[in-house]
Chain A
Amino acid sequence: METPIEHEGALPMYAGQSPATEARKITVGIVMYIATDVLLGIMFFITYIWLRQYNTNNLWFPKGVTAPSSTEMLWPTIALVVSAGAYIVAQLAVRYDMHLLFRIATVVALLIVLGVLVWEIISMGRLPFTQTDGSFASSYLLLLGYHIVHLAVATIVGLGITIRAFRGLYNARSHVGVDVVGVWWYWVVAYAVLFWLLVLMQPPSLFYS
Chain B
Amino acid sequence: MAQVPNPLPPHRELRTAIYVYAALIVLGVVLVIVLTPWIATWEPVASARASDNFLTLIVFSAVAVPVFMFVMVFGFSNLYFFRHPRQSEPPRDGPYMVAGLGPQLAWIGLTAAHALVLFVWGLIFLARADAAPAPGANQLNVDVTGEQWQFNFTYPQYNNAQSEILELPVNRPVYFTITSLDVVHSFSVDALGFKEDAVPGVFTHIRVTPSKIGSYSLRCYELCGLYHTYMEGPVRVVSAADFDTWVRGLKVHGYPWGINGAGAPVGAPTPPGGTGGPSGSVGPEGPQALILSHSPPANVPRSAFT
Within 8 A of B (CB), among A47-76: 56-59
Q: How far is the CA of A57 from the CA of B201 in the complex (A)?
A: 7
Within 8 A of A (CB), among B268-305: none
By the criterion CB–CB under 8 Å, are A58 and B266 in contact?
yes
Q: How far is the CA of A57 from the CA of B200 in the complex (A)?
A: 10
Q: How far is the CA of A35 from the CA of B81 in the complex (A)?
A: 50
Question: Which residues of A have CB within 8 Å of B266?
Answer: 57-59
Shortest distance in angstroms between A61's beta carbon and chain B's nearest beta carbon?
14
6 A–B contacts, CB within 8 A, in A order:
A56-B201, A56-B202, A57-B201, A57-B266, A58-B266, A59-B266
**Which of A56, A57, A58, A59 has the most chain B CB atoms inside 10 A of its CB?**
A57
Question: Which residues of B have CB within 8 Å of A58?
Answer: 266
Q: How far is the CA of A59 from the CA of B200 in the complex (A)?
A: 14
Shortest distance in angstroms between A5's beta carbon and chain B's nearest beta carbon?
34
Tell me the nearest residue of chain B to A56, going by C-beta: B201
Q: How far is the CA of A57 from the CA of B266 in the complex (A)?
A: 7
Shortest distance in angstroms between B203's beta carbon and chain A's nearest beta carbon?
11
Q: How far is the CA of A58 from the CA of B201 in the complex (A)?
A: 10
Interface string of A108-150 (1 = CB under 8 A from B): 0000000000000000000000000000000000000000000
Question: Which residues of A have CB within 8 Å of B202?
Answer: 56
Q: How far is the CA of A57 from the CA of B202 in the complex (A)?
A: 9
Q: How far is the CA of A159 from the CA of B15 in the complex (A)?
A: 73
Question: Which residues of B have CB within 8 Å of A57?
Answer: 201, 266
Q: How far is the CA of A59 from the CA of B201 in the complex (A)?
A: 11
Within 8 A of A (CB), among B166-202: 201-202
Tell me the nearest residue of chain A to B267, going by C-beta: A57
Tell me the nearest residue of chain A to B201, going by C-beta: A56
Q: How far is the CA of A56 from the CA of B264 in the complex (A)?
A: 12
Tell me the nearest residue of chain B to A59, going by C-beta: B266
Tell me the nearest residue of chain B to A58, going by C-beta: B266
Tell me the nearest residue of chain B to A62, going by C-beta: B266
Q: How far is the CA of A208 from the CA of B201 in the complex (A)?
A: 17
Per CB-CB distance, the 5 closest pairs between chain A and chain B, nearest first, are A56-B201, A57-B266, A57-B201, A58-B266, A56-B202
Question: Which residues of B have CB within 8 Å of A56?
Answer: 201-202
Tell me the nearest residue of chain A to B202, going by C-beta: A56
Interface string of B239-283 (1 = CB under 8 A from A): 000000000000000000000000000100000000000000000
Interface string of A59-95 (1 = CB under 8 A from B): 1000000000000000000000000000000000000
Question: Which residues of B have CB within 8 Å of A59?
Answer: 266
Tell me the nearest residue of chain A to B199, going by C-beta: A56
Within 8 A of A (CB), among B201-216: 201-202
Question: Which residues of A have CB within 8 Å of B201?
Answer: 56-57
Within 8 A of B (CB), among A7-57: 56-57
Shortest distance in angstroms between A208's beta carbon and chain B's nearest beta carbon?
13
Q: How far is the CA of A4 from the CA of B201 in the complex (A)?
A: 63
Q: How far is the CA of A59 from the CA of B266 in the complex (A)?
A: 9
Q: How far is the CA of A40 from the CA of B266 in the complex (A)?
A: 33
Q: How far is the CA of A52 from the CA of B201 in the complex (A)?
A: 14
Q: How far is the CA of A113 from the CA of B167 in the complex (A)?
A: 66
Tell me the nearest residue of chain A to B266, going by C-beta: A57
Shortest distance in angstroms between A63's beta carbon and chain B's nearest beta carbon?
11
Q: How far is the CA of A56 from the CA of B202 in the complex (A)?
A: 8
Q: How far is the CA of A48 from the CA of B202 in the complex (A)?
A: 18
Q: How far is the CA of A58 from the CA of B266 in the complex (A)?
A: 8
Q: How far is the CA of A56 from the CA of B201 in the complex (A)?
A: 6
Tell me the nearest residue of chain A to B200, going by C-beta: A56
Interface string of A158-199 (1 = CB under 8 A from B): 000000000000000000000000000000000000000000
Q: How far is the CA of A58 from the CA of B265 in the complex (A)?
A: 10
Q: How far is the CA of A17 from the CA of B266 in the complex (A)?
A: 66
Tell me the nearest residue of chain A to B264, going by C-beta: A57
Shortest distance in angstroms between A55's beta carbon and chain B's nearest beta carbon?
10
Within 8 A of A (CB), among B14-35: none
Shortest distance in angstroms between A204's beta carbon and chain B's nearest beta carbon?
18
Shortest distance in angstroms between B197's beta carbon and chain A's nearest beta carbon?
15
Shortest distance in angstroms between A59's beta carbon and chain B's nearest beta carbon?
8
Shortest distance in angstroms between B256's beta carbon and chain A's nearest beta carbon?
13
Shortest distance in angstroms between A138's beta carbon and chain B's nearest beta carbon?
15
Shortest distance in angstroms between B261's beta carbon and chain A's nearest beta carbon?
12
Q: How far is the CA of A22 from the CA of B167 in the complex (A)?
A: 72
Shortest distance in angstroms between B1's beta carbon and chain A's nearest beta carbon?
25
